[in-house]
Amino acid sequence: MARSITMKAIQGAGGVEVRALINHPMSIGKLDKISGNYVEAHYIEDVVVSLNGKPIVQGNWSSGVARNPYLSFRVRGAMPGDKLRLTWRDSRGASDSHEITLT
């Protein structure tokens, strides 16, 4: 599976700004009009961002989040060399994780 997370950290005054893009369909359950079959919902349920192994952001998402969600936040007190990891798990049990080292 190709990596679904693109993440960037930008050092600035007041901390590090983290920007992440998650490539995910985030679809709600629906009835396929052509085949008449029900298409099961497929969306991210849990998102965790950790700094050096300690969770700093946790989220419980639902089908109300748009396709390919974008996440942006600031981390105060982060230092160059710290490890920042974003992990997600979806409604079908799939998951992905990406870690960057702050510069």
The model's pTM:
0.88
* 46-87 per-position pLDDT tens digit: 999 999 999 999 999 999 999 999 999 999 999 999 999 999
CA dihedral over 69, 61, 2, 21, signed as positive or negative: positive
> Which domain covers residue 86, as residue numbers?
5-101
**The domain that contains 90 carries what CATH number?**
2.60.40.10
Q: How far apart are CA 33 and CA 16, in angstroms?
A: 47
* 22-41 per-position pLDDT tens digit: 999 999 988 888 999 998 99
Number of domains in the chain: 1
Q: Does residue 1 have a pLDDT over 70?
A: no
Burial of 84 (0-12, 13-18, 19+ CB in 10 A): buried
